[in-house]
Amino acid sequence: MAVSPNIRIGIPLPSTPYTYHRLPMSTLSYPFFFFYSSPPRALRFHSPPTRHRPLSLRPKASVETPAASGKLVENVVIIGSGPAGYTAAIYAARANLKPVVFEGYQVGGVPGGQLMTTTEVENFPGFPDGITGPDLMDRMRRQAERWGAELFQEDVEHIDVRSNPFTIQSSEREVKCHSVIFATGATAKRLRLPREDEFWSRGISACAICDGASPLFKGQVLAVVGGGDTATEEAIYLTKYARHVHLLVRRDQLRASKAMQDRVYNNPNITLHFNTEAVDVVSNTKGQMSGILTRRIDTGEESVLEAKGLFYGIGHSPNSQLLQGQVELDSSGYVLVEEGTAKTSVEGVFAAGDVQDHEWRQAVTAAGSGCIAALSVERYLVRNDLLVEFHQPQTEEVKKELTDRDIQEGFDITLTKHKGQYALRKLYHESPRLICVLYTSPTCGPCRTLKPILSKVA
């Protein structure tokens, strides 16, 4: 879409007053939250720098908080966030278990798992028009926090589940607990090309959502490696910014779902290369990536494919390193659980999400396994007479948020303050007024990716 002359965006940069930069409409479509429109005139904003909201830990009982004191034993510790971790936290908190959650970090320095790098989630129940990954994770996180889950944005560095109570050591505290839910997810695999480290983040990436819109790749010919849903989704996403996208597939057919295959085959900006693998990257005399050395699987013939960027979509490795030598893992490192349950080989240790699921790897299945894990923990604690129940204090009723339908039905183009993507689209196409877009979410990974990019052009 062409650059609109009547749209300017602003995010807080290192100094004030802030500068507003013209960007393509496509750049605004994802990390958008609310904005103001005004008559066409010069605008100047002097806003104080935004600060991240500190964690608000809801008091849950008169009992001293174990995670803070280190003297008591927690009912359950949940390691990891994402759909599995947050769902487990919601169910455990509603059961008055007062779960402690170590969220860990993901792309952009925020928790939330792989969905923090996903644009539209169109198959999660309850959202007929889809929802962005970061928005879905933020809602789950707030729901867990509302019910009393104790959230820490810290990485766990060591765990000991050889004897109960278990010991969890994070970057800032040590916690004892009677049960653990391991929901650390999986990490994107790399090809380990000879020059991969040299060009990592300078031409090679494993996250199209994070890097696809950057000046390094925008308007260039790009390539994606892989044949599954991850690779096809990244290829389709990159067509928003790239001049053309090549999809390199080692096999003679795609492994992606039928819906994703149809989208790839029907996209004129994607060229498929079957029986082809990436061997290395090629650079020009300036040291910039200029192409990919490819090899035909069937003939062994090598050739150079012109491309300024290479994106990996070749699957994931489970983040199960903390459990090695303590809990049974399969040959690929996935945590082994009893079929239909979240139980691992160690009593009191449960696993949920992609760290134990090498087949489905969906947000909804991860959430379901998180639910199973939390319910299993409650039964385990009751059965072994280990449960300490914490009752929630009475809290004010949470104000219901407006739905997209509410926003559409109540939309008035003459107002100066609007919220939602529907209003942005309406104003963009129908209003002659200057539109100022303000980013406000501290948990949006792409927003954090955009900030240094905008800082460079300020």
Cα–Cα distance for residue pair 111/440, rounded to 1 Å: 17
Sign of the C-alpha dihedral computed for residues 140, 145, 147 and 150 taken in this order: positive
Which of the following is catalytic: 177, 207, 210, 444? 444
Q: Is the N-terminal amide bond of 31 cis, ω within 30° of 0?
A: no
444 is catalytic: yes
Kindly report the number of other CB atoms within 10 A of residue 166's CB atom. Answer: 23
Quickly tell me which residue has 């809990």 as its tokens. 327
In the 3-class helix/strand/coil scheme, how is 116-164 assigned residue by residue? HHCCEECCCCCCCCCEEHHHHHHHHHHHHHHCCCEEECCCEEEEECCCC
Which of the following is catalytic: 207, 210, 371, 447? 447
State the pairing for strand pair 180-182/77-79. parallel
Kindly report the number of other CB atoms within 10 A of residue 429's CB atom. Answer: 8
447 is catalytic: yes
What are the backbone dihedrals phi and psi of residue 435, each rounded to the nearest 5 degrees, phi first? -115, 125
Instruction: Provide the greatest CA pair distance for the chain.
Output: 71
Q: Give, in order, the Cα–Cα distances in Å from 323 to each of 28, 200, 263, 266, 365.
A: 41, 29, 39, 44, 22
- Catalytic residues, by residue number, are 444, 447
